[in-house]
Amino acid sequence: MPRADRTKPRGGQGDKRQALLTGALTVFARDGYTRASIDMIADEAGVSTRTLYNHFQDKARLFQAVIEESASRVAEAQTALLDRHLRKVTNLETDLIELALAWGTPMPDSAEHFALVRQVNAEAGHIPAPAIKAWREAGPLRVRRELARHLRRLADEGLLRVEDPERAALHFTRLVSVPGPHDGGLTLTRKERAEHVASGVRVFLYGYGR
């Protein structure tokens, strides 16, 4: 189902381009780079393959554009979450739990994003090094650094005991990230997710709490 079918709202440039980006995200995330065909992407975007090639040089560059924009968008959302939950902390444990819950709560398209992340990790050997580097910087590394910044500040305020904020950030994300259908097995109920997250935060605080 095309996105823009309401009487051609505007021919303004960037309209079809955005449709292409989100359509390509869907298809790339579902099928991976090689399986995803140009025709499927164009169909998903409600666009002809020719316009696709008018906006992007080739499949590889389209893919790079997609992963970078997806990484940026999600990183933006996640750093916003960090700010919201860690800017002023009242009860550290409950705030961390709420952060981790919001973190792992499946937003509408975050599922697509993380599926795409798995594709990127698998495809990394076939993506030019600068592109993966840019992707990491715009996405996961940026978020981790931001989390590290917050943790260092909380340590300065005497709420945590942190030697290496970067490593602490890595430990936190690893402890609270919930196993999706891929990693561990089935999808979890809300209650199970909450338990999992709470126990992860507890272990984190045993290690880094004051």
Partner DNA sequence: TACTCAGTACAACGTACGTTGTACCCTGGC
Partner DNA sequence: GCCAGGGTACAACGTACGTTGTACTGAGTA
Q: Which is nearer to DNA, 39 or 156 (CB)?
A: 39
Q: Which is nearer to a second copy, 5 or 183 (CB)?
A: 183
- Minimum CB separation from a second copy for residue 139, in Å? 12
- 18's contact among a second copy, DNA, none, with CB below 5 to 8 A by partner kind, is none
Contact 168, 208 (CB under 8 A): yes
Q: Which is nearer to DNA, 11 or 185 (CB)?
A: 11
- Minimum CB separation from DNA for residue 66, in Å? 13
Q: Which is nearer to a second copy, 33 or 56 (CB)?
A: 33
Residues 2-61 binding DNA (CB under 7 A) are 8, 10-11, 13, 15-17, 36-39, 46-51, 53-55, 58-60
The whole-angstrom separation of Cα 41 and Cα 97 is 38
What distances in angstroms separate CA 190 from CA 102, 193, 201, one per listed residue?
A: 12, 5, 16
- Minimum CB separation from DNA for residue 125, in Å? 15
The whole-angstrom separation of Cα 139 and Cα 74 is 7
Residues 61-90 binding DNA (CB under 7 A) are none
- 152's contact among DNA, a second copy, none, with CB below 5 to 8 A by partner kind, is none
- Minimum CB separation from a second copy for residue 164, in Å? 7
- 191's contact among a second copy, DNA, none, with CB below 5 to 8 A by partner kind, is none
Q: Which residues bind DNA (CB under 7 A)?
A: 8, 10-11, 13, 15-17, 36-39, 46-51, 53-55, 58-60
